[in-house]
Every structure is written in C-alpha cells, then in structure tokens.
Amino acid sequence: MKAVILAGGKGTRGRPFTDYFPKAMIPLDGRPLISYITDYLSSLKMISEIVIVTDIAGLGGQIRHYFEGTSKIRFVQDSESGTAGDLMHLQKIVNGEPFVLWFVDNIGAVDIQKMYKHFVAKKSMACIATRQYRKEETGFAKVQDGKVMQFIEKPLVKMHDHECTGIYVLSPKIIQIIRRKMRKKKNLNLSYDILQELSKEGLVSSFDIGKTDWLDVESPNVLERKKDTVRKIITKMSQR
C-alpha cells in the first residue's frame, strides 16, 4: 500500500514564512515538519512506499534535496490543478490499490491500520479521519443573569459537526473519477468537487480519531502557540 503526501500548494496561510520555503519544511525541533510524517508512515508495515507530490521545480525542490538518497520515497511534480487534480498522475504508481493520502500541514498519530479496516468494512470509496473533540485556545465563562458564575480555562469541547483532519484512505477509482472530471474543469478540489458527490451516494466514511491529538500546522506560529500539544503529538508519532 502506498502513502501519498500532498506537499504542494502556495502555503498562503503561512506567509511570509512560506514565501521562502514550503510549509512542508516548517522547522519543528530542528527538523522539517514533513520528516515526522514520513517517519511515521515508514514505521507502518502496511506502507510500502511514500510518494511526495510537490512543486519540485520550485520551492518543493528543498523537500527533494532534504530526502535525497532516502529509500522508499519518490517524488511527483505538483500539477497545480487543485488537491484532486494533483492526484491524476498517480494511477500507475498506486497500481490499482487503495492508498493513504496525507496533507502535509497535518500531524497526528492517527491509527492508519484501524482506519483502513474501517474503510474496507464500510465499503467506502473514500475514508477521512475526523474528530469531534477539540481543545479551545481561549478561556470560557459560564454566565447567568449577566454575571460570570465560573471560568473555564481552554476546555476540551465536543463540536456539533466533525472536523476533517486532512488524512484519507482512498480507492484507486477516485483517480479515474478525477480524470473524467478534469475534461471539463482544470482545477479540482478533492472535498468539494469529488468527495461531495460520493458522499451523497454513501461512499465516503468517517474514521473518528476520538481524543487523539491532531493539529493543522498552518504556520510556524501555530507550532509555538500550541507547543505542548505538538510535543505530545510528535512523541506519540515516534512511538510507533
């Protein structure tokens, strides 16, 4: 089974940092962010190879240089055609098998083996890791009759809807669907242009990660602001 890391994109949320290096290379304890993801995926027996999709000709060349000489990692040029369009050229690489898709600005020790079993059990075309619990960054107050009755410091809250983590297991048939869609539209978003329609047919499953720590690393500022959570995540990812 292959694992694909999407490491393209402009990284606009991370500017001005990402004007000079790709978000995959955001430093974390002296190492680039993407190295924690590749180490985690490489530790899984079910993963035979990691494919990194990035702008090799641009800033993504920094990523390839970092991994130069590393076995079981190959690179594919980012087509700049959206998060779905960038998968179109992977058909021969995944070789007709389901594959893991991991957006590079996400970290979390998600149990990929259990997620894959869930994908199979639900007869899915796609499975996305989701969560319903989130630790808030600000404090809350219980208010009654205009008076604060209690302060609650950065609570763990249950959200009404599930949050998507940017970690998927996908059927190879997804690539065929993307190829057909690309005939009419040149820039495709995976969630809204592809999975949205499949979800209406009951073909997209959700793997709830429960209270497993996960983080959307939009910029280096996030890593500093949530350093305690980051430390917990990278510790768990290194224990596989």
Following DSSP, what letter does each residue of the chain receive, concatenated? -EEEEE--S--GGGTTGGGTS-GGG-EETTEEHHHHHHHHHHT-TT--EEEEEE-TTTTTHHHHHHTTT-TTEEEEE--SSHHHHTTGGGHHHHTTS-EEEEETTEEE---HHHHHHHHHHTT-SEEEEEEEEEE-SS-EEEEETTEEEEEE-S-EEEEEEEEEEEEEEE-THHHHHHHHHTTT-SS--IIIIIIHHHHHTT-EEEEE-TT--EEE--SHHHHHHTHHHHHHHHHHHHT-
Confidence of residue 114 (pLDDT cuts 50, 70, 90): very high
- pTM (global) more than 0.85: yes
Residue 43 has pLDDT above 60, yes or no: yes
Q: What percent of the chain has pLDDT over 90?
A: 59
Tell me the pLDDT tens digit for each residue of 48-85.
999 999 999 888 899 999 999 888 999 999 888 889 98
Q: Which of the pair, 196 or 30, is modelled with greater confidence? A: 196
Tell me the pLDDT tens digit for each residue of 219-234.
778 888 888 889 999 9
Tell me the pLDDT tens digit for each residue of 178-195.
999 988 888 899 999 999
CA distance 165 to 200: 20
Half-sphere exposure of 149 (CA within 13 A, CB side): 5
Quickly name the fold that domain 2-132+160-238 has: Spore Coat Polysaccharide Biosynthesis Protein SpsA; Chain A (3.90.550)
